[in-house]
């Protein structure tokens, strides 16, 4: 009996030593009304804007309206099983997402939960989706290039690390293709890529994922998807969740490329929420803070100084226009926030010019400072030459007879437009871009027949890779074309012409 009493006493002592006498307080409320993904809750008097709340069914919500007697919560899930009288509990924390290296290679929803069927993601850290953008003191000027591998963009509207470059155009003009090409081109560049799909079809997201997998880009990429079948609140928080994941890697000193595809659908999702929350509508029924919706998101993209880690986050937001109207409400808002735009024109796309970049309306406000010297030097007159060509092309429709100088300018422009055509998912390294631009802008292939010029120049670039790999490697590593390299390119080009062009074409020269 004594042994048993001693055991009981030791157990009691252990229980008493581990007893927590601190008061635990949990604030709960009651649903007054629920519908269309919005719940009006009574009793959460101390709730704060953006706080995560938990409903009795396990579904989470986010506080978005603070009124005198109630709060308006958006449901980050489905409202099945909820009704008047259901209980809601405060969590005391801001809406957040899991972050970490384990996210790489995965497809997740707007809450960071995996949706690719590959099991749970083991992460130990979370970040709030809403976060104040880095201050002026912590930022560094954009000086390091971020190569997309697309000749028309790297030559005329270059992008620097930390920049925000808008991709804008009508539907089905190749906006997503440019973003995917840019992600594929980051292979081996030590850049983490994040693709945020907002309101896209699930099949479109799957296609992007398969493309990235095919080219080995998923190893350094994260896809955050809030598809068209997801509730509007998930579509609303998706880009902020993507920015939070990007900021985690940026805080580690890494370079990040984030694509928001697209912010037009994001604005529509926010308009839906605002109207359901009974906020006052403004222009085109959007709420008055729709500008702040995107400015606080895109301002989070920057390049940090070495003192603050030296990482960067480059944003490529995508906006869809209707019938080419860049002066619509959301397009003008985002254009005014970003550091330039790549405008894709429908008429160019259907004429076979792909990527269909409109040179006149596309601009990069800071990327020129970060452009590779070799490309900057060889593409110096490209934009002006193409603008002049577009002007003469319009004039040529009404002119029956042209003087030789005008005809030469037209022929030169046609060849440059032909060389700017690039197939999908074939990004070009800097050395190859520099060689193509060198022979194109210098007029060195103006004597090659127009229908053969693209194949001719690609073949010449292949020969330079094979025969003069030392020259190509030097251009790639230094980012410049030396005088010796320029002379080698000229000499090799003349030799290549004699070998490839037929005697009749040689005579025509």
DSSP characters over 108-177: E-TTS-B-SSS------EEEESS-PPPPSTTB----SB---S-HHHHHHS--BTT-B-EEEESTTSSHHH
Helices H / strands E in the chain, number of each = 17, 16
Please say whether the beta carbons of 302 and 143 come within 8 A: no
Torsion-angle region of 71 (φ positive above 0: left; ψ -120 to 50: alpha; else: beta): beta
What Cα–Cα distance (Å) separates residue 72 from each residue in 31, 88, 288? 10, 12, 18
Q: What is the predicted pLDDT for the residue at 1?
A: 45
Q: What is the predicted pLDDT for the residue at 318?
A: 98
Interval 471-488 mean pLDDT: 90
For residue 507, what pLDDT band results from cuts at 50, 70 and 90?
A: very low
Please say whether the beta carbons of 90 and 44 come within 8 A: yes
Residue showing tokens 């008493």: 16
Between 313 and 380, name the one with better pLDDT.
313
Q: What is the pLDDT of residues 332-352, one digit of tens each?
A: 999 999 999 999 999 999 999
pLDDT value at 508 more than 80: no
DSSP 360: T
Q: What is the predicted pLDDT for the residue at 21?
A: 60
Tokens representing residue 25 in the block: 């307080």
For residue 397, what pLDDT band results from cuts at 50, 70 and 90?
A: low
Strands 166-169 and 340-344: parallel
Residue 168 burial (CB count, 10 A): 27
Residues 6+ away with beta carbon under 8 Å from 432: 461, 465, 472
pLDDT value at 405 more than 90: no
pLDDT value at 398 more than 80: no
Q: What is the pLDDT of residues 272-295, one digit of tens each?
A: 999 999 999 999 999 999 999 999
For residue 269, what pLDDT band results from cuts at 50, 70 and 90?
A: very high
- What are 357's strand-pairing partners? 344
What does the angle CA 240 – CA 241 – CA 244 come to, to the nearest 5 degrees?
A: 90
Q: What is the predicted pLDDT for the residue at 238?
A: 97
Please say whether the beta carbons of 133 and 299 come within 8 A: yes
Q: What is the predicted pLDDT for the residue at 371?
A: 87
Residue 143 burial (CB count, 10 A): 12
Q: What is the pLDDT of residues 70-98, one digit of tens each?
A: 999 999 998 889 999 999 999 999 999 99
* Residues annotated catalytic, as ranges: 365
Q: What is the pLDDT of residues 187-234, one digit of tens each?
A: 999 999 999 999 999 999 999 999 999 999 999 999 999 999 999 999
Tokens representing residue 394 in the block: 């319009």
- For residue 135, report the phi and psi dihedrals to the nearest 5 degrees: -75, 170
How far apart (Å, rounded) are the C-alpha atoms in residues 129 and 96? 5
Between 171 and 401, name the one with better pLDDT.
171
For residue 456, what pLDDT band results from cuts at 50, 70 and 90?
A: very high
How far apart (Å, rounded) are the C-alpha atoms in residues 393 and 438? 24
């Amino acid at each position: 009996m004594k042994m048993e009493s001693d055991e009981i006493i030791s157990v009691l002592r252990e229980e008493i030593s581990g007893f927590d006498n601190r008061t635990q307080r949990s604030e709960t409320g009651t649903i007054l009304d629920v519908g269309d993904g919005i719940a009006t809750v009574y009793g959460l008097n101390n709730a704060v804007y953006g706080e995560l709340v938990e409903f009795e069914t396990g579904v989470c919500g986010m506080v978005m309206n603070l009124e005198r007697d109630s709060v308006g919560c958006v449901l980050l899930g489905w409202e099945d099983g909820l009704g008047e009288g259901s209980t809601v509990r405060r969590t005391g924390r801001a809406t957040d997402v899991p972050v970490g290296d384990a996210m790489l290679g995965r497809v997740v929803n707007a809450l960071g939960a995996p949706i690719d069927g590959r099991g749970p993601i083991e992460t130990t850290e979370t970040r709030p989706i809403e976060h104040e953008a880095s201050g002026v003191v912590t930022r560094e000027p954009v000086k390091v290039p971020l190569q997309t591998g697309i000749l028309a963009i790297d030559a005329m509207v270059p992008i620097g690390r930390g920049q925000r470059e808008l991709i804008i155009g009508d539907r089905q003009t190749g906006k997503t293709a440019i973003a995917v090409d840019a992600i594929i081109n980051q292979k081996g560049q030590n850049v983490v890529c994040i693709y945020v799909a907002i309101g896209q079809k699930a099949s479109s997201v799957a296609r992007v994922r398969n493309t990235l997998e095919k080219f080995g880009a998923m190893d350094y990429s994260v896809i955050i998807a809030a598809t068209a079948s997801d509730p509007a609140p998930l579509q609303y928080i998706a880009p902020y969740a993507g920015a939070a994941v990007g900021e985690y890697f940026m805080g580690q000193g890494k370079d990040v490329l984030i694509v928001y595809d697209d912010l037009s659908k994001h604005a529509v999702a926010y308009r839906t929420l605002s109207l359901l929350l009974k906020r006052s509508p403004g222009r085109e029924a959007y709420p008055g803070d729709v500008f702040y919706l995107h400015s606080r998101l895109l301002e989070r993209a920057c390049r940090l100084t070495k003192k603050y880690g030296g990482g960067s986050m480059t944003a490529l937001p995508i906006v869809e226009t209707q019938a080419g109207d860049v002066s619509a409400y959301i397009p003008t808002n985002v254009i005014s926030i970003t550091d330039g735009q790549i405008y894709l024109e429908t008429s160019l796309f259907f004429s076979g010019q792909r990527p269909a970049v409109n040179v006149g309306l596309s601009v990069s406000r800071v990327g020129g400072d970060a452009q590779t010297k070799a490309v900057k030097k060889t593409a110096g007159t490209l934009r002006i030459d193409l603008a002049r060509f577009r002007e003469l092309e319009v004039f040529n429709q009404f002119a029956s007879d042209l003087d030789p100088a005008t005809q030469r300018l037209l022929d030169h422009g046609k060849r440059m437009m032909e060389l700017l055509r690039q197939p999908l998912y074939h990004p070009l390294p800097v050395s190859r871009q520099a060689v193509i631009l060198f022979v194109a802008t210098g007029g060195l292939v103006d004597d090659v027949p127009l229908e053969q010029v693209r194949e001719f120049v690609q073949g010449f670039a292949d020969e330079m890779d094979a025969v003069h790999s030392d020259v190509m490697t030097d251009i790639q590593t230094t980012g410049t074309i030396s005088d010796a390299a320029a002379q080698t390119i000229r000499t090799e080009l003349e030799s290549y012409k004699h070998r490839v062009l037929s005697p009749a074409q040689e005579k025509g020269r």
